[in-house]
Amino acid sequence: MCGIVGYTGAREANPILIDGLKKLEYRGYDSAGVALHRDGCLVINKAAGSVADLEKKLGDQFNKVTVGIGHTRWATHGRPTDINAHPHCSCDNKIAVVHNGIIENHQSLRQWLADEAGHSFRSETDTEVMAHLIEEYYEDDLLEAVRKAVKRVEGSYAMVVIAAGEPDHLVCVRQDSPLIIGLGEGENFVASDIPALLAHTRRTKILEDGEFASITADRVEISDRDGKVVEREILEITWDLEAAEKGGYEHFMLKEIMEQPVAVKETMRQRIDPSTGQVDLSELGFTEAELSSLEKIFIVACGTAYHAGLLGKAIIEKVAGVEVEVDVASEFRYREPIFEKNQLAIVISQSGETADTLAALRLARRNGLKVLAITNVVGSSVSREADRVFYTWAGPEIAVASTKAYLTQLVALYLLTIYIGKARRSIDPELAGELVKNLMDLPGNLKKILSEESLSRLSSYCNHLSQWESAFFVGRNLDYPVAMEGALKLKEISYIHAEAYAAGELKHGPLALIVEGIPVIALVTQKAVSEKILGNIQEVKARGGAVFAITQEGFDDVSRQVDSVFYLPAVNDILAPVLSAVPTQLIAYYAAVARGSSVDKPRNLAKSVTVE
Ligand code: F6R
């Protein structure tokens, strides 16, 4: 995710900015840059590549400079190139901006600025419009210009701006993206994340949504949208650097699980119109005729992304009425699938670099299919080679075990299903409306599942689970892929051998392994088969299995028939898998913690599998 650092004071700014950017490297980035005040001008240095490369490039040519801003960019709008790196400048190079977040209406603003106000743009980024917009309003008062510019902006932003005419002044604004002011003696700092500040100060003020900050070496003033000054308490940071990188959580995996409400919200942003409830994926460039004539979709992926694909198949067939085949990429590339016209391939890959998935993409394209990639990384190999790309905006995932990327892949597949269903007129409009409503409620419902109380319940359940060397996950219908993903996650980080079964299969073999007390996690969210799975649960209970059920509020029979139960907020059954995945992630997490495993870097595994 992008990182911001700013400094104003009496010390050399350059090493402070570079050091701060290095402290934010763990968040992932693809380019870096700084803007420094020198002799009444702004000097910009930026490039694709590492902060170390930028540091070398800067050398000691800016020794006397004491004010500047820096940024690490993780590409969203526009590829990771030198020109797209931040800071971005106004036409006259007198305003420089660093920005985290997304300017949603950047296209219309860009058009207005270019056509009506004569601005010329250098980059493909959404951020650059801010530099020009601020230039448009600048009349020797940077704070006022930023205030006016922001009024025209929709989206999320943490922004720091400097102007050539205001030598020691940093202006900041935030909406839905963090920004923290660090207080020093005769110097002040700003950063998007605490690790960048810790070497210099532990005294901070946190900017809230809709607030601006005017920062000089001696003064910090926070104000609201109307310019009213806001008093903010000083927050003393007690975390060490490692804890700060993990946002105070013990592991990146838990941090990323907790980020899921935001990750799904970002993925839906601009793709659902809240006022009409319409899903708009015109960004993908499909025509209605193309979607209507689809006869088959191949979904190809590996590991967790493959499990997302299995759920994709279930919902696309059920809701949009198109036949779907799902393959593990390493099998697809060697199994000689039958390619015909009117077929589409969808590849799913968080990293966009998985070798087998890339090979599957190439195979499908060689055989004349259009390929849609669902990926989290702009500029990745998969995104460059696919015909169309659906970006999940989960932000970089650092823990090896995928959590927030998986959940956003599911959201992408639900949006796609509704969109295809609408184009083909195969989706029941009432169902479409209900699913969209459930999707919009998702961030709130995820927050409920991630409450302190749920975390402590799941953690205490895992004290029992972690004593065992094997466990089962069972589910039917849409719950089955969730069971598969739950088992993978548990194996991967706790090293407990976990198997997932379609619950109806138990009596065809695995029931032989059910012994007194063995943990069985049952997903029970599908009304159409709830009687059936409750029957399967009885088969397990009769042999001594200890059943932990994950179900929806309103499934009242479940609690009487199992040892313990975890309730999810009630939603349409079709959308329940997006919620039920979360307790399974937490079960894996707490079981791994209880067993003292290396949660974020499990043995023998890598985050990105770029070899066959
Ligand atoms: C498991 C996990 C892996 C990945 C798989 C594919 O938690 O993360 O199973 O899902 O290696 O990776 P991507 O999505 O990067 O292609």
CATH code for the domain of 161: 3.60.20.10
Give 248's pLDDT tier (boundaries 50, 70, 90).
confident
**Does residue 59 fall inside a structural domain?**
yes
Burial 40-60 (b: 16+ CB within 10 A, else e): eebbbbbebbbbeebbeebee
- Cα–chain-centroid distance for residue 21? 21
Are 237 and 257 part of one and the same domain?
no
**Does residue 611 fall inside a structural domain?**
no
Q: How far apart are CA 435 and CA 442, in angstroms?
A: 10
**Does residue 329 fall inside a structural domain?**
yes
pLDDT at residue 111 greater than cutoff 80: yes
Q: Which residue has the least CA distance to atom 16 on ligand 1?
A: 349
Give 263's pLDDT tier (boundaries 50, 70, 90).
very high
Average pLDDT of the segment spanning 320-330 = 97
**Residue 502 beta carbon below 6 angstroms from any ligand 1 atom:** no
- Cα–chain-centroid distance for residue 58? 32
pLDDT at residue 67 greater than cutoff 80: yes
Among candidate residues 218, 245, 272, the one where a domain is terminated: 245
Distance 376 CA to ligand 1 centre (A): 12
DSSP secondary-structure letter at 208?
Answer: P
Is 2 one of the catalytic residues?
Answer: yes
**Does residue 500 fall inside a structural domain?**
yes
Among candidate residues 191, 221, 245, the one where a domain is terminated: 245
Q: Which residue has the least CA distance to atom 8 on ligand 1?
A: 402
Overall number of domains in the chain: 3
* 556-609 per-position pLDDT tens digit: 999 999 999 999 999 999 999 999 999 999 999 999 999 999 999 898 887 777
Are 554 and 436 part of one and the same domain?
no
pLDDT at residue 611 greater than cutoff 90: no
**Residue 585 beta carbon below 6 angstroms from any ligand 1 atom:** no
Best residue among 252, 256, 299, 304 to mutate for probing ligand 1, ranked by most atoms within 8 Å of CB:
304
Task: Report the number of secondary-structure helices (H) and strands (E) in the chain.
Answer: 20, 27
Ligand 1 atom nearest to CA at 302: 6
Are 396 and 519 part of one and the same domain?
no
Are 258 and 241 part of one and the same domain?
no
- What domain range is 132 assigned to? 3-245
**Does residue 602 fall inside a structural domain?**
yes
Q: Which residue has the least CA distance to atom 7 on ligand 1?
A: 401
Are 281 and 426 part of one and the same domain?
yes
- The continuous run of DSSP H or E covering 292 comes out as helix 288-292
Give 554's pLDDT tier (boundaries 50, 70, 90).
very high
CATH number of the domain that residue 313 is part of = 3.40.50.10490
* 381-417 per-position pLDDT tens digit: 899 899 999 999 898 788 999 999 999 999 999 999 9
pLDDT at residue 486 greater than cutoff 80: yes
**Active-site residue identified among 2, 89, 172, 462:** 2
Is 607 one of the catalytic residues?
Answer: yes
Q: Are 48 and 81 in contact (CB under 8 A)?
A: yes
Are 240 and 255 part of one and the same domain?
no
Best residue among 299, 351, 587, 597 to mutate for probing ligand 1, ranked by most atoms within 8 Å of CB:
351
Q: How far apart are CA 135 and CA 137, in angstroms?
A: 5
pLDDT at residue 239 greater than cutoff 80: no
Integer angstrom CA distances of residue 274 from 184, 277, 278, 418, 458: 43, 5, 8, 15, 34
* 13-24 per-position pLDDT tens digit: 999 999 999 988
**Residue 380 beta carbon below 6 angstroms from any ligand 1 atom:** no
**Does residue 93 fall inside a structural domain?**
yes
Are 219 and 267 part of one and the same domain?
no
Retrieve residue 173's tokens: 């604004």
Distance 516 CA to ligand 1 centre (A): 34
pLDDT at residue 1 greater than cutoff 70: no
**Does residue 612 fall inside a structural domain?**
no
Q: How far apart are CA 124 and CA 128, in angstroms?
A: 8
User: Which residues 6+ apart lie within 8 Å of 174 measured at CB?
Assistant: 157, 158, 159, 207, 208, 209, 210, 211
Q: How far apart are CA 111 and CA 97, in angstroms?
A: 19
Distance 241 CA to ligand 1 centre (A): 28
- The continuous run of DSSP H or E covering 14 comes out as helix 13-23
Average pLDDT of the segment spanning 336-354 = 95
If one counts every other C-beta atom within 10 angstroms of the C-beta of residue 233, the result is: 7
* 181-210 per-position pLDDT tens digit: 999 999 999 999 888 999 999 999 999 889
Are 170 and 281 part of one and the same domain?
no
Q: Are strands 155-163 and 188-191 parallel, antiparallel or unpaired?
A: unpaired
Burial of 278 (0-12, 13-18, 19+ CB in 10 A): middle
Among candidate residues 442, 474, 495, the one where a domain is terminated: 442
DSSP 451-492: SHHHHHHHHHHHHHHTT-SEEEEEE-TTHHHHHHHHHHHHHH
- The three-class DSSP label of residue 142 is helix
Best residue among 256, 402, 597 to mutate for probing ligand 1, ranked by most atoms within 8 Å of CB:
402
**Residue 305 beta carbon below 6 angstroms from any ligand 1 atom:** yes
**Residue 586 beta carbon below 6 angstroms from any ligand 1 atom:** no
**Residue 90 beta carbon below 6 angstroms from any ligand 1 atom:** no
Q: Are strands 272-273 and 235-236 parallel, antiparallel or unpaired?
A: unpaired
Which residues of 178-281 form beta strands (DSSP E)?
180-183, 188-191, 203-206, 211-215, 220-223, 229-230, 235-236, 272-273, 278-279
Determine the pLDDT at residue 25.
Answer: 85
Ligand 1 atom nearest to CA at 304: 10
Taking the CA atoms of residue 333, residue 339, residue 341 and residue 343 in that order, the dihedral angle to the nearest 10 degrees is -50
**Does residue 401 fall inside a structural domain?**
yes
Task: Find the radius of gyration of the CA atoms of the chain.
Answer: 26
Enumerate the β-bridge partners of residue 188: 8, 183
pLDDT at residue 279 greater than cutoff 80: yes
Distance 168 CA to ligand 1 centre (A): 46
Are 427 and 481 part of one and the same domain?
no
Are 100 and 13 part of one and the same domain?
yes
Are 391 and 514 part of one and the same domain?
no
Its pTM surpasses 0.85: no
**Residue 484 beta carbon below 6 angstroms from any ligand 1 atom:** no
Are 236 and 354 part of one and the same domain?
no
